[in-house]
Structure 1
Amino acid sequence: MRIAVVGASGRIGREVADVLKNQGHEVVAITRSAGVDVYSGVGLGQALDGVEVVVDAANTATTETAAVRDYFRTIARNIQQESVDAGVRRIVVVSIIGIDAFTAGHYAGKLAQEQAYLEGPVPVRILRAAQFHEFTEMMLDWTTQGDTAYVPQTRTQLVAARTVAEQLAELAVAEDAPDRLDIAGPEQLDLAVATAKLAARRGTPLHVQEILDTADPNHQAQAGGALLAGDGAVIAGPTFEQWLDRNYPVR
């Protein structure tokens, strides 16, 4: 099957592309480096020529609410339109568990993306995932000041990016699958606790401090468990400890 992966050079996109290639599918990488800009639409129609399924794993560094909503809404509409013209059979998009409760930032953008896709004519399958195990790495990169990382109070159910990629690949190729599915890891965790375990394995920073950022419109939803899996979610390993042992073995 000829499958296009939007954001094929990103964290989840490259994993999806690898899974699909290992299964024998032909993968079309939709990236700026390949000459395709999904926001402007430049090169998108040509890239989708002969494609049967599109997997959207695109991301953006933008976090300002209006900008991120515009970005995700625009790429969803562009991909829908070009998919119609190319005869694409379905679109699979990765999203985030619990985003209905969020009003700002990246979460609000992903909700706008879902809505824009569902307004289009090509059938869409949405995989809502918990935060990746790898999100703890990002927390350390984003929040460390001096010898301390300041991690927002968040209840989560971390899942491996590879596990999510495998589920996306399954949704892409299956003739019969649900239109909406949630996936999460096997444990409910405090993000700061998990991030502290990663910091201990890395040896830096020395401290991880949990904070409640009341200036963040999403703080109550994050702290209150909106990002946890609900009934019917796919629960899949590895656990966070297993992921740590694999990627940051104790020496």
Structure 2
Amino acid sequence: MVCGGTGAVGRHVVRVAGGRGHDVVVLSRSAGVDLAGGPDAALDAALAGADAVVDVLGTPTLSARGSVAFFTATTGRLLAAEHRVGVPHHVALSIVGIDGIDAAYYAGKLAQERLVASAAVPHTVVRAAQFHEFAGQIVSRASLGPVTLAPRTLTRPVAAAEVAEHLVGVAEAGPVGRAPDLVGPADDTLAGMIRRLSAHDRAGRRVVEVRLPGRYGAGLASGALRGGPGAVRGRLTFDDWLGSAARVA
């Protein structure tokens, strides 16, 4: 079972799991299940018989209050239903290096991690670095004409397709509480990624790097989001990803 199965990572999870012979079901509103407030009976019926639930849901908000509300509500309902029907493994995707950044979007992810860790359902939390795809997302969200504002971010980006491979492997292995973190093969900056994305696509985009204020901005610029020394390293660099099948898959 995949929650968020049409997103940047979720679609790859569906593809990878299906390629390994798993019977994959995507939990979605279109399938009659709404985590935001649908009936418990529909959720229970959808989860019954699942060997594992991989939760890669996300929200575009940068509001700490909004992020906490979203992840608390969706994760809480999901865990409660899993407990009722006896799902043996809950896998949650989170973000490397966010322990000291309890602000903005990351506040919701930390709240989610705490919920998962305290639940009765056997679980695994998987932290990954920012995705290569994040560069394009910032272009679509933070651009005015040909100009894009890029938050100063020191990261070690990884391809969403490799995150999916890691998640499926974790789901197959059974609950361990906390899986090894996954980061990309090389250090990078978000501004640098967007500039190279623009050059590759011949977009002629001007990228202005800005230091965001507060704990969130300090966390982005600190290098914490590169992960620790014990993290698993992905194989595909951002530059190789730009022209690869993983970008368009």
Q: Shared fold by TM > 0.5?
A: yes
Q: Which amino acid aligns with 1:66?
A: R
Number of the residue aligned with 1:36: 33
Displacement after TM superposition at 1:213 (Å): 2.2
Structure 1 ranges of 4+ moved more than 6 A: none
Number of the residue aligned with 1:14: 11
What is the CA–CA distance in structure 1 between the aligned matches of 2:14 and 2:125, rounded to whole Å? 17
Q: Does 1:219 align with 2:217?
A: yes
User: Aligned-pair RMSD on alpha carbons?
Assistant: 1.7
Number of equivalenced pairs: 245
What aligned pairs does 1:53-92 form with structure 2 within 5 A after superposition? 53-92=52-91
What is the CA–CA distance in structure 2 between the aligned matches of 1:178 and 1:87, rounded to whole Å? 17
1:94 counterpart SS class: strand
What is the CA–CA distance in structure 1 between the aligned matches of 2:99 and 2:75, rounded to whole Å? 18
Number of the residue aligned with 1:133: 132
Q: How far does the alpha carbon of each residue in 1:202-243 deviate from its partner, in whole angstroms, 9 at most, with x for none?
A: 2224311111122x4311111111101202100011011110
What is the CA–CA distance in structure 2 between the aligned matches of 1:133 and 1:206, rounded to whole Å? 18
Contact 1:96/1:131, CA 8 A, preserved across alignment: yes
What aligned pairs does 1:199-218 form with structure 2 within 5 A after superposition? 199-214=198-213, 216-218=214-216
1:100 counterpart SS class: coil
Contact 1:148/1:205, CA 8 A, preserved across alignment: no
1:95 counterpart SS class: strand
Q: Does 1:26 align with 2:14?
A: no
The answer for unaligned runs of 5 or more in structure 2 is none
Number of the residue aligned with 1:5: 2
Number of the residue aligned with 2:153: 154
Q: How far does the alpha carbon of each residue in 1:71-122 deviate from its partner, in whole angstroms, 9 at most, with x for none?
A: 1012121111111111111101110011112122211111111111111101
Q: Does 1:185 align with 2:175?
A: no
The answer for unaligned runs of 5 or more in structure 1 is none
Distance 1:248 1:109, change over 3 A: closer
What is the CA–CA distance in structure 2 between the aligned matches of 1:67 and 1:140, rounded to whole Å? 22
Q: Which amino acid aligns with 2:125?
A: I
What is the CA–CA distance in structure 2 between the aligned matches of 1:194 and 1:125, rounded to whole Å? 30
1:115 counterpart SS class: helix
Distance 1:62 1:213, change over 3 A: closer
What aligned pairs does 1:45-124 form with structure 2 within 5 A after superposition? 45-124=44-123
Contact 1:198/1:244, CA 8 A, preserved across alignment: yes
What is the CA–CA distance in structure 1 between the aligned matches of 2:27 and 2:246, rounded to whole Å? 31
What is the CA–CA distance in structure 1 between the aligned matches of 2:156 and 2:58, rounded to whole Å? 21
Contact 1:52/1:88, CA 8 A, preserved across alignment: yes
Displacement after TM superposition at 1:39 (Å): 2.5
Q: How far does the alpha carbon of each residue in 1:120-139 deviate from its partner, in whole angstroms, 9 at most, with x for none?
A: 10111011000000000011
What is the CA–CA distance in structure 2 between the aligned matches of 1:23 and 1:49, rounded to whole Å? 21
Displacement after TM superposition at 1:44 (Å): 1.4
What is the CA–CA distance in structure 1 between the aligned matches of 2:102 and 2:174, rounded to whole Å? 34
1:26 counterpart SS class: coil
Number of the residue aligned with 2:171: 172
Contact 2:89/2:174, CA 8 A, preserved across alignment: no
Displacement after TM superposition at 1:38 (Å): 1.5
Identity %: 36
